[in-house]
Structure 1
Amino acid sequence: MFSFRQEHSVMIMKKSENMSCGNKSQEQDSSGNNEIEKTKICPMRTFVETQDPSSKEVEDLTLRRFLRARDLDLEKASGMLLKYLKWRRSFVPNGFISTSELKNEIQQKKMFLQGSDKKGRPLGVLLAGRHFQHKGGVDEFKRFIVYIFDKIFARMPPGEEKFIVIGDLEGWGYANFDIRAYLAALSLVQDYFPERLEKLFIVHAPYIFTAAWKIVYPFIDMKTRNKIVFVENKKLKSTLLEEIEESQLPETYGGQLPLIPIQDT
């Protein structure tokens, strides 16, 4: 049964569907001419602004990502966005995360950012065999993930929304299996940064990774599962070249770019 507040919120949402509003975004539309999606933007904006005035600063492309993440369900997408805004204010009160908050994570030298795919989407490389649990715990790891995302988003060309990641498991062993960290990263991707990941290439996956994968897999939603590609070693370069020009591919995978630690970008 709805509470009075919930019922009132739904009434506002339904009423806003008959209102018109201008486009708050100066960015290009990278989603094509999805007319149904476009009609949802105005009522969603009207509703979330009544619940959280700070959402006035949110661009239309962001609203569209949350709509797509919830299959254009206006109520679910609005709730998801409001939850994200509340979380962001609490988790990143200063508006950004500094490297001083990530001492243990950065020391592991496991995340790199350089180059882009054929559509201009930023390319990141994660060396998972360098990840180990540390005294900073899951909280520092989550801050590192948000730091990574913010770095990637800052490199995106106008109108672009997504990025590519190569997850390299060479040298990965049970000592690297940090289930709490993996699930935390997954939650951030799916709950707070929806429709950002274009594709995750998993390369050099050892046989023992199968056990870890079976534990994590049930927590991955279908949208995210469809973005994960396991690449065979013998087809590594050819598979990556389907998406990334050789000039933009890291040297370690047969390309021309050096790996650059994300904190140095």
Structure 2
Amino acid sequence: MGKKDQRQKENKKIQAVLHLLRKQAPLTLKQEKFCNDACVERFLEARGYNTKKAAKQLKNCLAWRDSIGTDHLIADEFPAELAEGVAYVAGHDDESRPVMIFRIKQDYQKFHSQKMFTRLLVFTLEVAIQTMEKCVEQFVLLFDASHFRSAAAFMNMLLATLKILADYYPGRLHKAFVIDPPSLFSYLWKGARPFVELCPLTMIVSSLDFEESLEFNDFISYPRAASLRLDPSFVPSTNKVGLCTSSRFSFTIAHHFDSLKPWYLTLKDTSTSKVGPTTASLSSFGPTISPLNVRSYSFTSPTTRGPYDNIGTVKKGFFPSTPMPRKTQTLDMSTIKHPRTPKPSFLRSPALFFKKDFQLTRTAKSRESFIPFLKFYRQTYDEMVYRSNMRPPLGGLISIISPQLMRGHMSVSQRF
């Protein structure tokens, strides 16, 4: 009963808005078709279900649409824009919302008036609304700002677009992404955010953050080498590698030593062309160089690193002329005073309140929100695919001609 009562109240408010509109001036047939229940409900929701404010905004919207001439917009008015892909509907997301992409260059405003840009924007919005299903009411906007050099010029275009969406298309915008804006745009946007109605739905992202996306890069990712270590899996099965050119040293690779340096050098006589360690004693040919004594103990692996007593025994045969001194004092571990870790305080430091954690969180949220729409931003533009989504009269003369006539015309033209 609660939902039913709420729905009845909403219907009464919708009828009240329509009554105020008809009271001021009679509505035309096209205006009656435009002011359906879903449209009036979006205006009510945008104005906090205030009937007077919603009726006033809807009246201004109808007057603005008549001044723009939305009923007479066709694709033949924008041949260059459609050929270059300046503004188009790229497709639909997982929720069947149309995704529009605007790749407007900075020089476009030099050769076209603001009214021309507004008509192009409205034309693209109307095409997106035509492609919506019955249960879908919102769309997504992607602004490619990489072609702008001036942050102020792009800011003016963005604010004009968001104002049109807020005033004449309330409740239609799901999310808007600004991709690769100029360097100073973030500072201008920070100052303009409090005065923009749709600022919570507008996010700034960078395409450089998605260069390593596996969905669009067909390369195989290999793990990075942490150091120049020998991988035992690539070592041949033999334990001896080649003949050493020196007459005093031989180089041998073994698999049972430390994995960091599985090798050792042996001082021996190789005049008989023998490779590998021999059974000769260390007294005749010198000590054997192995991972246990070839490196400093500060850089050895944890497996070969042991207590200080073991170090003395290892170095005993390597330096016979300089014996290690014995320990005369024993270290009492109980006398060592370790630094105390301060207990966490309940009250946070005042300096933590000035950290910019919210900016990092906002950037991370923007990146996660933009991932589902990355494929639309990177896919190539096809004019014929975009024109196929246009319904009469927006499609112009090309949409009126049937596909059969189009194929027949192309086949006749190709003959000559």
TM-score by length of 2: 0.47
Specify the SS of the correspondent of 2:177: strand
Shift in Å at residue 65 of structure 1?
A: 0.8
* Structure-1 separation of matches of 2:5 and 2:129: 23
Change (3 A) 1:139 1:92: same
- Residues 163 and 198 of structure 1 are in contact (CA less than 8 Å); yes or no, is this contact kept in structure 2? yes
* Structure-1 separation of matches of 2:111 and 2:181: 27
* Structure-2 separation of matches of 1:53 and 1:159: 30
**Residue of structure 2 in register with 1:153 after alignment:** 129
Specify the SS of the correspondent of 1:160: coil
Q: Deviations over 1:156-192 (max 9, x none)?
A: 1113111011222224311882555444323211111
Runs of at least 5 residues in structure 1 that lack an aligned partner in the other structure: 1-31
Specify the SS of the correspondent of 2:66: helix
* Structure-1 separation of matches of 2:184 and 2:77: 32
Change (3 A) 1:122 1:144: same
Larger relative contact order (CA 8 Å, sep ≥ 6): 1
Specify the SS of the correspondent of 1:78: helix
Question: Which residue, 84, 87, 108 being the options, matches 1:132?
Answer: 108
Change (3 A) 1:241 1:82: closer
Q: Deviations over 1:222-246 (max 9, x none)?
A: xx111112235425867257645x8
Question: Which residue, 87, 111, 133 being the options, matches 2:87?
Answer: 111
- Residues 109 and 130 of structure 1 are in contact (CA less than 8 Å); yes or no, is this contact kept in structure 2? no
**Residue of structure 1 in register with 2:26 after alignment:** 53
Aligned length, in residue pairs: 224
**Residue of structure 1 in register with 2:368 after alignment:** 239
Shift in Å at residue 155 of structure 1?
A: 0.7
Q: CA RMSD in A?
A: 3.2
2:202 is aligned with 1:228: yes
Question: Which residue, 48, 57, 62 being the options, matches 1:80?
Answer: 57
Change (3 A) 1:250 1:162: same
* Structure-1 separation of matches of 2:113 and 2:132: 30
Question: Which residue, 62, 66, 69 being the options, matches 2:43?
Answer: 66
Shift in Å at residue 111 of structure 1?
A: 1.7
**Residue of structure 1 in register with 2:160 after alignment:** 184
Shift in Å at residue 117 of structure 1?
A: 1.7
What is the 5 A alignment of 1:144-223? 144-174=120-150, 177=153, 180-214=156-190, 216-221=192-197
Specify the SS of the correspondent of 1:250: helix
Q: Match of 1:136, as an amino acid?
A: H
- Residues 103 and 144 of structure 2 are in contact (CA less than 8 Å); yes or no, is this contact kept in structure 1? yes
* Structure-2 separation of matches of 1:243 and 1:177: 28
Q: Match of 2:116, as an amino acid?
A: E
* Structure-2 separation of matches of 1:59 and 1:47: 15
**Residue of structure 1 in register with 2:224 after alignment:** none
**Residue of structure 2 in register with 1:89 after alignment:** 66
The structure where helix makes up a greater share of residues is: 1
Shift in Å at residue 127 of structure 1?
A: 2.2
Shift in Å at residue 64 of structure 1?
A: 0.7
Shift in Å at residue 47 of structure 1?
A: 2.1
Question: Which residue, 37, 42, 50 being the options, matches 2:15?
Answer: 42
* Structure-1 separation of matches of 2:370 and 2:114: 34
TM-score by length of 1: 0.71
- Residues 150 and 182 of structure 2 are in contact (CA less than 8 Å); yes or no, is this contact kept in structure 1? no
Is the deviation greater in 189-198 or in 97-106? 97-106
- Residues 162 and 195 of structure 1 are in contact (CA less than 8 Å); yes or no, is this contact kept in structure 2? yes
* Structure-2 separation of matches of 1:173 and 1:34: 51
Whose Rg is larger?
2
Is the deviation greater in 60-69 or in 226-235? 226-235
- Residues 143 and 178 of structure 2 are in contact (CA less than 8 Å); yes or no, is this contact kept in structure 1? yes
Shift in Å at residue 101 of structure 1?
A: 3.8
